[in-house]
Amino acid sequence: MSFVFTRLMYRKFLFATGIENSIPRIGGGRKRIDQLEKCRHYEYWKKDLDLVKELGIEFLRYGPPLYKTFIGADRFDWSFADTTLGYMQQLRIWPILDLCHFGVPDWIGDFQNPDFPELFARYCSAFANRYPWIQLYTPINEMYICALFSAYYGWWNEQLTTDRSFVTALKNIVKANILGMNKILEVRPDAIFIQSESSEYFHAENPKAIRPSELMNARRFLSLDLNYGKRVESEMYEYLMDNGMTRDEYHFFLDNHLKRNCIMGNDYYITNEHRVTAEGKTYASGEIFGYHVITSQYYDRYKLPVMHTETNLAQGPRGDEAVYWLWKEWANVARVRNDGIPIVGFTWYSLTDQIDWDTALREENNRVNPVGLYDLDRNIRPVGEAYKQLIKDWREVLPTESVCLSVPIDITDMPADAASAKEANQASAQEKNETSTATLLNADKK
């Protein structure tokens, strides 16, 4: 059987939402917190995907639960992924595939396991070979936050609280991300990786807090520095070496970066900015700088196309708090764009309300957090109506007004036969493989 392909370039802004799929373990590793289960996506997956389509959204941050899919070394259960991704393909919703979201299968243990990077890379290879039509990936979500909450704050997974355990988790997570990207590129040479990473800032509350806040503001960049092969600052180099990273491990990151295939996805919530005390303790400051200022800092450091990959706010007693936050974040996106930074997409996260994120999932209280576009009964919230209207208003404007107009996303209909799909993808991607993602994000001259 032969297939005729029409090569198309997606020339619209990437409006997205996500299905919350965090899976950390808490309570000394005894309890798995599965947000797909808590938010009833296993029950309502078809309804959820229909709702994405009804909103006019074409891109969805999505991933099957790693602990249920990766069931042993080179052993996989694709049943749920086959069902949901197959239906997504029918609806022409393009997944930004989230392969590891804050947890690993029990048989791997936790992020201190030095075997995790190689094992995860094999999972990425198997996944990409099974679903060769998928082009957009976030291999590991929020690498910095994952290491921080698991191995420094002691909240999740290994629940450790030292600098050495943090560095161990971080180097394993980022190495896994890099190895995973390489494996996916073997299947999809034109794959695009959208790093969803928390964009943080630490404010000194008095002169004695300047020093600890400086260290925290340097540490916030470590995951992306290593991932993008950027030499870390001298003090952070000493910090990494003093806490277990070897010179060979450090040079792995310098030699194996894949920046040319990446979009810098950054997440911003009202909790992303912190006040720092003289003793080095932190607590929430609320929004001080905001998304525009902090994103500009990250862009100045990495010079990559940007996507706002997560934000939300709880619907409060007035009923319009989340609507106002959506407007404010969108105004920040517009300001970033108007400053000449190539920003390619925006995400309200997530589609539905979540459970227990008010305690960062470290306690199982089964408390509903009303942050979704829909509630857990799948009734639309005011912010869902507002986002639907925002997409309608701006979708056709941004391609002619934005400085970043074309993301090299293949929107060709894929053949049902996976082998034919893989062959077609590799052939069509060959000529594009030498062109970076950043280069292809050019202003429209028409």
Q: Is the distance from CB of 238 to CB of 247 less than 8 angstroms?
A: no
Give me the pLDDT at residue 435, please: 46
Strand partners of residue 140? 100
- The Cα–Cα gap between 340 and 402 comes to 9
- Select 9-197+290-430's CATH number: 3.40.50.1820, 3.20.20.80, 3.30.70.1900, 3.10.180.10: 3.20.20.80
- Average pLDDT taken over every residue of the chain: 91
- Residue-wise pLDDT tens digits, 34-46: 999 999 999 999 9
Q: Can you give the residue ranges of every domain in the chain?
A: 9-197+290-430
Helix ranges, 220-320 (H): 222-227, 234-242, 247-255, 290-302
Report residue 139: phi and psi, to 5°: -55, -50
Beta strands in 132-253 (DSSP E): 136-140, 192-198, 201-204
For tokens 């916030």, the residue is 220
Give me the pLDDT at residue 257, please: 80
Peptide bond into 428 cis (omega under 30): no
Give me the pLDDT at residue 98, please: 98
Nearest to residue 197, comparing CAs of 272, 281, 251, 249? 272
Give me the pLDDT at residue 107, please: 98
Which of the residue ranges 5-14, 153-162, 252-261, 388-397 has the most confident prediction, judged by mean pLDDT? 153-162
Give me the pLDDT at residue 210, please: 97
Residue 396: pLDDT over 60: yes
Give me the pLDDT at residue 406, please: 58
- For residue 238, the tally of other CB atoms under 10 A from its CB is 11
Q: Is the distance from CB of 176 to CB of 184 less than 8 angstroms?
A: no
Q: Is the distance from CB of 80 to CB of 68 less than 8 angstroms?
A: yes
C-alpha neighbours within 13 Å on the C-beta side of residue 2: 1
As a three-state string, the secondary structure of 204-225 is ECCHHHHHHHHHHHHHCCHHHH
Min mean pLDDT across 132-136, 163-167, 251-255, 257-261 is at 257-261
- The Cα–Cα gap between 310 and 312 comes to 7
Q: Is 183 exposed, middle or buried, given 0-12, 13-18 or 19+ CB atoms closer than 10 A?
A: buried
- The Cα–Cα gap between 63 and 19 comes to 8
- Residue-wise pLDDT tens digits, 190-237: 999 999 999 999 999 999 999 999 999 999 999 999 999 999 999 999
- The Cα–Cα gap between 385 and 54 comes to 11
Tell me which H or E stretch contains 282: strand 282-284
Look at strands 273-276 and 282-284 and give their pairing: antiparallel
- The Cα–Cα gap between 64 and 99 comes to 7
Strand partners of residue 380? 374
- For residue 80, the tally of other CB atoms under 10 A from its CB is 16
* 3-state DSSP percent of the chain in helix, strand and coil, to 5: 40, 15, 40
Structural tokens at position 181: 């990207």
The amino acid occupying position 306 is V
Query: Following DSSP, what letter does each residue of 102-116 receive, concatenated?
Result: S---TTT--TT-TTH
- For residue 370, the tally of other CB atoms under 10 A from its CB is 19
